[in-house]
Structure 1
């Protein structure tokens, strides 16, 4: 049995969907009403990282886990790993962040992810680390502004990021969970190119068939917008990460995804075409790996 956490999110949901189409898989979630995954092999375990009894029930009979946590500075990883060891789990595939492997990344969220990775490495469990760059789906945060104004407000619009389609991250996770040889390995995951927000906006305009404008934000303006959703320490981490991107720190294109899956990573143009209805476009073309993902990706830097 494989357990998938984060199944109401953009990557975990796709991992669960792919697995449930062909094998028994269990998902751990707080609110089953938010779960969009369906499949003949799907089981749902209701619980949380704070509830040890629910973790024990969810982990009963589980051999491998896809682990997603989204509480910067929190202790969800430690709680989960303690329960996993007690339940006899063999292998944990952990969703981390590309920035963990970069020496110049020292924001709160990256430091927390490094600590989470260290906890897994020292747990005694077999482990695999997935370190994706920023998700292309993060640009869904622009959807309301695009639909209402045709304008995208963005910080450092000309800075580039080798962002990755979350469906590709999910494909990498499924490979690590279901095929041998991934224990003790780190898989850095990027898209095929480093692309700026201005370039992404042009791709969205092409996909939608209408002009879009980019409005550059100052760091203070961006921080004020993020503060509507996140606590101050997370806002500071996001600004710090954005400044590092503006210095060119997130442009590396890594071949690990192709080595791992045998497929080329999807481009932002492909992602934009597959998700254009989220931005007010016409009916989406069929996605190459199942239904398009439109859920949020959670807090994180890359």
Structure 2
């Protein structure tokens, strides 16, 4: 049995679709109604209620599980610690953890990166077999621009000329599916990127060409970016994201790996390919 957490996220939804035909799969969610996709509709994925804050629910969700895919988001809590304790108690063999590429950057000392490093250390010290997936930013992060693209044909972002080798979340899901179902990945850490670094200005231009319209890019000041982020996140997370943006401006996120190709046998998907397949999210409903 494979347990998937984070099944409502960008990677989790794609992962469930890939695992549904490969054997017994269970997805844990606080709200099972939010678990979407054809796999669930076909009844090929077992959906269970589980909450990182509730050790009993974790134990039930992990019963009979051999391998688990772990996604956590609470940078202030002990979700990883509680999950791993329950996994050990349930006799789980291996945990595949979704981490982040920033953990390898010695200059990265923001809250989110420190948290991810701590989570990795917990897993490595748990006694379980482990595999770490360290993606760069998801190409799908640009979905945050969709409302302003649809309404005023404008993208607003900080440091528009800074490069990021963003990765298609479908590639992360494909790698995760292979790692979860194949042998030979225990004790491995995989950094996942797209095939090239792109900038927000470049992404805006690509989206405009695909939509057949002219999109305007508007550079945000640091204060404007802080205000926009504050509407969505608590202040410690806002500060971490701004520090991360500064590292990107310095080129820390431009490096490309061939890991996706090595593990899947095909080239990593480009930002343009992802955008083409999700263009409806940016198009006006006219």
> Aligned pair 1:240/2:249, yes or no?
no
Q: Structure 2: how far apart are the matches of 1:16 and 1:3?
A: 10
Q: Across the two proteins, how many residue pairs are aligned to each other? A: 282
Residue 52 (structure 2) aligned to one of 49, 52, 60: 49
Residue 250 (structure 1) aligned to one of 249, 253, 260: 253
Which shows bigger deviation, 233-242 or 16-25? 16-25
Q: What is the DSSP-based 3-state SS (H/G/I as helix, E as strand, rest coil) of the residue aligned with 1:161?
A: coil
Which shows bigger deviation, 135-144 or 16-25? 16-25
Cα distance, 1:22 vs. partner?
3.4
In the superposition, the TM-score normalised over structure 1's length comes to 0.92
Residue 217 (structure 2) aligned to one of 209, 214, 218: 214
Residue 61 (structure 1) aligned to one of 37, 60, 64: 64
Q: Which residue of 2 aligns with 1:297?
A: none
- The question of whether the paired residues in 1 share the 8 Å contact of 2:164 and 2:197 is answered with yes
- The question of whether the paired residues in 1 share the 8 Å contact of 2:155 and 2:215 is answered with yes
Structure 2 unaligned blocks of 5 or more: none
Residue 133 (structure 1) aligned to one of 129, 132, 136: 136
Which shows bigger deviation, 69-78 or 120-129? 69-78
- The question of whether the paired residues in 2 share the 8 Å contact of 1:15 and 1:170 is answered with yes
Q: Structure 2: how far apart are the matches of 1:16 and 1:224?
A: 36
Q: Which residue of 2 aligns with 1:18?
A: 18
Cα distance, 1:73 vs. partner?
2.6
Q: Which residue of 2 aligns with 1:273?
A: 276
Q: Structure 2: how far apart are the matches of 1:123 and 1:203?
A: 44
Q: How does 1:185-200 map to 2 (within 5 A)?
A: 185-200=188-203
> Aligned pair 1:27/2:27, yes or no?
yes
In structure 2, the CA distance between the partners of 1:281 and 1:270, relative to structure 1 (3 Å rule), is farther
**CA shift digits 1:37-82 (9 cap, x unpaired):** 3324200011200011111110010000000001113210000000
- The question of whether the paired residues in 1 share the 8 Å contact of 2:150 and 2:284 is answered with no
Give runs of ≥4 in structure 1 deviating > 6 Å: none
Q: Which residue of 1 aligns with 2:167?
A: 164
Structure 1 unaligned blocks of 5 or more: 283-302
- The question of whether the paired residues in 2 share the 8 Å contact of 1:22 and 1:41 is answered with no
- The question of whether the paired residues in 1 share the 8 Å contact of 2:147 and 2:282 is answered with yes
Q: How does 1:85-124 map to 2 (within 5 A)?
A: 85-124=88-127
In the superposition, the TM-score normalised over structure 2's length comes to 0.97
Q: What is the DSSP-based 3-state SS (H/G/I as helix, E as strand, rest coil) of the residue aligned with 1:160?
A: coil
**CA shift digits 1:96-129 (9 cap, x unpaired):** 0000011111100000000000000000000000
Q: CA RMSD in A?
A: 1.0
